Structure 1
Amino acid sequence: MMRGMGNMQGMLKQVKKMQKEMMEAQDALNQQTFDGESTNGYVKATLTGDRKVKDLVVDPAVIDPEDPEMLQDLVMMAVNNALEKVEKAHESSMSKYTKGLPGF
């Protein structure tokens, strides 16, 4: 019976270590920045790893008061491009911890 308890304690210790490593990896990822841009680089968005917009740069040449929808589309394109990069980084960073776990 004691042998089983030792194995359980060992497993719990490993789980705690893995949780700590996951949190450290998540924190490191949140500190990174990810750049996205629209077609021709007219709009550039910089996001942090925790998906916060840090910077947004719009080329004045695309600011047309007669066509605000175009600028809106370019902003969405740049932000979505940066978000895709954030998601790929999250998947890459966390996959070593979630590989083989059901639901991930």
Structure 2
Amino acid sequence: MAKRGFPMGMGGNIGNLMKQAQKIQQDMAKAQEELAEKTVEATVGGGAVTVVATGHKEIREIRISKDAVDPDDVETLEDLVLAAVNEALRQADELAKNVMGGITGAFGNLPGLF
């Protein structure tokens, strides 16, 4: 008599697969919350400009030293702000990669997905 259910004996493992998927989903939601709370800080120009961003790439704060404000050289200040923002966003990406990496690595443990 032929067995019913999933091919190649997967029927017994589908419950485990579903439990693993639910755990990953919960872990990812928790990690997203964590990223919203964590911040990174980038400083350029020897402390002239500092940018604080969340792990969700939201800029929370920009601090500009009074010494960096020269009405005759606005372009330099603009370049410093741009560099600090880009560095803060790069750090936020790295933070997200580190936080999410432990979770997404679990996908390798789910048989038949990859």
**What TM-score do the two structures reach when normalised by structure 1?**
0.85
The gaps in structure 2 that reach 5 residues or longer are 109-114
Aligned-pair CA distance for 1:77:
1.2
Contact 2:40/2:88 (8 A) holds in 1: yes
Deviating above 6 A after TM superposition, structure 1's stretches of 4 or more consecutive aligned residues are none
1:57 aligns with 2:57: no
- Counterpart of 2:39, as a letter, is T
Larger radius of gyration: 2
How far apart, CA to CA, are the structure 2 residues paired with 1:33 and 1:97? 20
Contact 2:40/2:54 (8 A) holds in 1: yes
Kindly report the root-mean-square deviation, in angstroms, between the aligned alpha carbons of the 2 structures: 1.8
Tell me the residue number matched to 2:31.
Answer: 25
1:7 is matched with which residue: 3, 8, 13? Answer: 13
How far apart, CA to CA, are the structure 2 residues paired with 1:40 and 1:71? 13
1:43 is matched with which residue: 45, 49, 52? Answer: 49
The number of residue pairs the alignment matches comes to 101
**What TM-score do the two structures reach when normalised by structure 2?**
0.78
How far apart, CA to CA, are the structure 2 residues paired with 1:39 and 1:63? 12
- Counterpart of 1:53, as a letter, is I
Aligned-pair CA distance for 1:91:
0.9
Tell me the residue number matched to 2:40.
Answer: 34
